[in-house]
Amino acid sequence: MSQPRQDTDPQKGTAAADEPVIRLEGIRKTFRARSGPATVLDDISLSVRQGEIFGIIGRSGAGKSTLVRCMNMLERPTAGRVVVAGQDMTALSEKALRGARHQIGMVFQHFNLLSARTVYDNVALPLEIAGRDPAHIRETVGPLLEMVGLGDKAGQYPAQLSGGQKQRVGIARALANDPAVLLCDEATSALDPETTQSILALLKDINARLGLTIVLITHEMAVVKEIADRVVVLDQGRVVEEGSVFDVFTAPASAVARSFVGDLLNHDLPAPVAARLVEAPAVDEDGVPVAEGANPLLRITFTGPAANRPILGELMAEGLLANILHGSIDYIQGKPFGVLTVEVLNGAAAMADALEYLHAIGLKGEIIGHVTADHRAAA
Ligand SMILES: Nc1ncnc2c1ncn2[C@@H]1O[C@H](COP(=O)(O)OP(=O)(O)OP(=O)(O)O)[C@@H](O)[C@H]1O
């Protein structure tokens, strides 16, 4: 397959360097249902940039599959424009669309391989359909199979392969016509966690090596977190949130995004700590309890440049006496994001100083509740 893309194919659009690979403008899709028209996609606009891995996440029924089918025009939007590699797909005839779809490689959840064809012949199929000559097919299929790690499986049949190997064939097949973008529709949803990791690593490697733009449609935030650069959150046919994966993870703005993130980063208090929670005692103007026998729980959220500081040591040096109750740290797009929950043992003034210190260095500190001072009493 070719490496840096040259748009010499007359079927290909002539996208400017800064033109998004996919641009959706005001996409609406309405189906006629028995109960009346049902709007499944409602005014969706988004841009997928050249070379990025772009995640589209939503719960079941949010409209993801319909959106993918609109991207490759297997489903015609009721309104709006779909522009792929500079070409307005919505303006093309069915015949012209068949050629234009070579710009879009598709990877499916259930692989969709032909069982009577060998691995080699499955990957060759789109090239045969595109009318490529046998020499071109030979020169393309071999290196693609090498790239996906199946160089030794060319003569095998799908039934002889594991799920992960089948998906590697699906990926090689999707790349055969040298597309401008790879659309992966729940590409790892039928795979076990370990195989999912290896397929995601392959996609990331292809993205890095070929600069190929990838769109991932998924209901799994872990997939987005693992390899995507940006993400949109889809709910009931609308985009409810869009941003860098780091921003959406660390500061989700919508309820849907919060629930996805919550599923993944479990910052809930462990049960033994939760059992010590008491009704909020009276607090002063700094939010510090004035009641005897209850200590505040301070939650520190680490993001941004200050996330790498030895913060607990610094707070201790400032006079805080704290007992660590729970903590977790994760890395998203290579950047740390952590949450630490401590019980403050030495009273109001120390607590207020700690909050002020955190604020001054740009870290979030908040009192999230109060616990009985003596946990043996609560046991
Ligand atoms: N051809 C159709 N006719 C009528 N309604 C449809 C059609 N295709 C999809 N829908 C409806 O559109 C909504 C979105 O479906 P879609 O399959 O796009 O969601 P999804 O996010 O991909 O869900 P899942 O992850 O479960 O596949 C659903 O309520 C579905 O019933």
- CA-CA distance, 106 to 111, in Å (whole number)? 10
Q: How many beta carbons lie within 10 A of that of residue 235, not counting itself?
A: 18
Residue 280 is predicted with a pLDDT of 65
pLDDT at residue number 286: 66
Q: Are 182 and 215 in contact (CB under 8 A)?
A: yes
Strand pairing of 294-302 and 335-344?
antiparallel
| Residue 241 identity | E
Tell me: pLDDT of 265 over 70. Answer: no
Q: How far is the CA of 347 from the centre of ligand 1 (A)?
A: 55
Contacts of 72 (CB under 8 A, 6+ apart): 101, 104, 106, 183
Do strands 53-58 and 213-218 pair parallel, antiparallel, or not at all (unpaired)?
A: parallel
> CA 52, 56, 61: angle at the middle one, nearest 5?
165
Query: 257 alpha carbon to ligand 1 midpoint, in Å?
Result: 20
Neighbours of 187 (CB within 10 A): 27
Closest residue by CA, ligand 1 atom 2:
31
Point out the least confidently predicted range of 7-11, 68-72, 110-114, 203-207.
7-11
Whose alpha carbon is nearest atom 1 of ligand 1? 31
Where a domain ends, among 249, 264, 279? 264
pLDDT at position 264: 65
- The residue nearest atom 10 of ligand 1, judged by CA position, is 40
pLDDT at position 91 over 90: yes
Residue 277 per-residue DSSP state: B
Mean pLDDT within 265-279: 76
pLDDT higher than 80, residue 118: yes
Which of 30, 31, 221 is the pocket-test mutation for ligand 1 (most atoms within 8 Å of CB)? 31
What tokens appear for 200 in the block? 């995601």
In this structure, are 290 and 255 located in the same domain?
Answer: no
Residues 165 and 100 occupy one common structural domain? yes
Centroid of ligand 1 to alpha carbon of 156 (angstroms): 35
Query: Where is the domain boundary, 224, 244, 264?
Result: 264
Cβ atoms of 320 and 343 closer than 8 Å: no
Within-domain flag for 244: yes
Model confidence at 250: pLDDT above 80: yes
Same domain, 112 and 168: yes
Report the CATH number at residue 171: 3.40.50.300
305 three-state secondary structure: helix
Whole-number Å distance, alpha carbon 27 to ligand 1 midpoint, is 15
Same domain, 234 and 291: no
Do 329 and 244 belong to one domain? no
How confident is the model over 271-285, as a mean pLDDT?
74
Residue 63 CA: nearest ligand 1 atom is: 18
Minimum-distance ligand 1 atom for the alpha carbon of 68 = 18
Q: Provide the residue range defining the domain that includes 311.
A: 271-378
329 - beta bridge partners?
Answer: 338
Q: What is the pLDDT of residues 157-177, one digit of tens each?
A: 999 999 999 999 999 999 999
The pLDDT assigned to 11 comes to 43
- Predicted confidence band at 13 (pLDDT cuts at 50, 70, 90)? very low
Distance, in Å, from the CA atom of 280 to the CA atom of 294, rounded to the nearest integer, reads 9
Q: What is the token pair recorded at 234?
A: 């889809």
Q: Is residue 1 part of a domain?
A: no
Measured in Å, residue 233 CA sits from the centre of ligand 1 at 16
Which of 26-40, 107-121, 358-372 is least confident?
358-372
Q: What pLDDT sits at residue 144?
A: 97
Whether residue 321 lies inside any domain: the answer is: yes
Q: How far is the CA of 23 from the centre of ligand 1 (A)?
A: 22
Average pLDDT over residues 37-63: 96
pLDDT tens digits for range 291-309: 567 888 899 988 877 788 8
Residue 213, in any domain of the structure: yes
pLDDT of residue 267: 65
Q: Are 295 and 344 in contact (CB under 8 A)?
A: yes
What does the mean pLDDT of the chain come to? 88
Structure tokens at 85: 């590699």
**53 and 168 fall within a common domain:** yes
Q: Does the pLDDT at position 192 exceed 90?
A: yes
On the question of pLDDT at 8 being above 70, the answer is no
- CATH code for position 329: 3.30.70.260
Q: What percent of the chain has pLDDT above 70?
A: 89
Please check whether residue 14 lies inside any domain of the structure: no
**Ligand 1 pocket check: which of 39, 59, 66, 223 to mutate, most ligand atoms within 8 Å of Cβ?**
66
Of 27, 34, 39, 40, best ligand 1 pocket probe by most atoms within 8 Å of the beta carbon? 40
In this predicted structure, what is the pLDDT of residue 290?
Answer: 58
Instruction: Give the residue-averaged pLDDT of 9-36.
Output: 78
User: pLDDT at residue 51 above 50?
Assistant: yes
- Going by CA atoms, what residue is nearest to atom 25 of ligand 1? 60
Nearest-CA residue for ligand 1 atom 12 is 40
Distance 237 CA to ligand 1 centre (A): 9
Question: Per DSSP, which regions of the chain are E strands?
Answer: 22-33, 36-48, 53-58, 79-84, 87-88, 104-107, 181-185, 213-218, 230-235, 238-244, 294-302, 322-332, 335-344, 364-372
Q: How would residue 281 be classed by pLDDT, with cut points 50, 70 and 90?
A: low
Per the listing, tokens 């966690």 go with 193
pLDDT of 256 above 60? yes
**Are 100 and 53 contained in the same domain?**
yes
Cβ atoms of 201 and 167 closer than 8 Å: no
Q: Specify the 3-state DSSP secondary structure of 374.
A: coil
- Angle CA 223–268–225, to nearest 5: 15
208: which 2 tokens?
A: 């890095």
Indicate whether 259 pLDDT > 70: yes
**The total number of structural domains that make up the chain:** 2
Q: Render pLDDT for 100-113 as a digit per residue (tens, 0 to 9).
A: 999 999 999 999 99
Report the percent of the chain where pLDDT is more than 90.
Answer: 65
Q: Which residues line ligand 1 (CB under 6 A)?
A: 31, 33, 38, 40, 58, 60-66, 219
Express the helix, strand and coil content of the chain in percent, nearest 5 each.
35, 30, 35
Phi, psi of 309 (to 5 degrees): -80, 150
